[in-house]
Amino acid sequence: KQEVTQIPAALSVPEGENLVLNCSFTDSAIYNLQWFRQDPGKGLTSLLLIQSSQREQTSGRLNASLDKSSGRSTLYIAASQPGDSATYLCAVGDYKLSFGAGTTVTVRA
């Protein structure tokens, strides 16, 4: 069974700092890895999807890397803003996604 772990569970940074969020998974035979954002009382918003043949994806201030051999992904958020405050979830799988418990980020103004 795929196990997904996210470290740290919570993170608080001042505005402008870069954020580094880590995700690890136990089974390297994955179809893809997705990063989501979850705001309180709302559903998940997809941020980035990395297919198994790719090593990274970028969108604006967000960059995610994937190292299947070591079972790790890292989400980088550059120049953080208070609006980036949310819980970030990592998920791996094909159609049956296995999710980590998330990293709750607070960006202080």
Q: Does 58 bind other proteins (CB under 8 A)?
A: no
Decide: is 91 part of the binding site for other proteins (CB under 8 A): yes
Write the single-letter amino acid at 54. Answer: Q
Q: Which is nearer to other proteins, 94 or 109 (CB)?
A: 94
> CB under 8 A: which stretch of 18-26, 38-46, 57-65, 71-79 binds other proteins?
38-46
Candidate list 18, 26, 46, 81; residue touching other proteins; CB under 8 A: 46
Per-residue tokens: 18 = 């870069």
20 touching other proteins, by CB under 8 A: no
DSSP per-residue codes, 43-86: -EEEEEEEETT-SEEEETTEEEEEETTTTEEEEEE-S--GGG-E
Q: Which of 45, 59, 70, 81 binds other proteins (CB under 8 A)?
A: 45
Closest separation in Å from C-beta 69 to other proteins? 20
> How far apart (Å, rounded) are the C-alpha atoms in residues 104 and 97?
20
52: left (phi over 0), alpha (psi -120 to 50) or beta: alpha
Distance, in Å, from the CA atom of 8 to the CA atom of 61, rounded to the nearest integer, reads 20
- Residues in contact with other proteins by the rule CB under 8 A: 4, 31-32, 34, 36, 41-46, 49, 51, 89, 91, 93-102
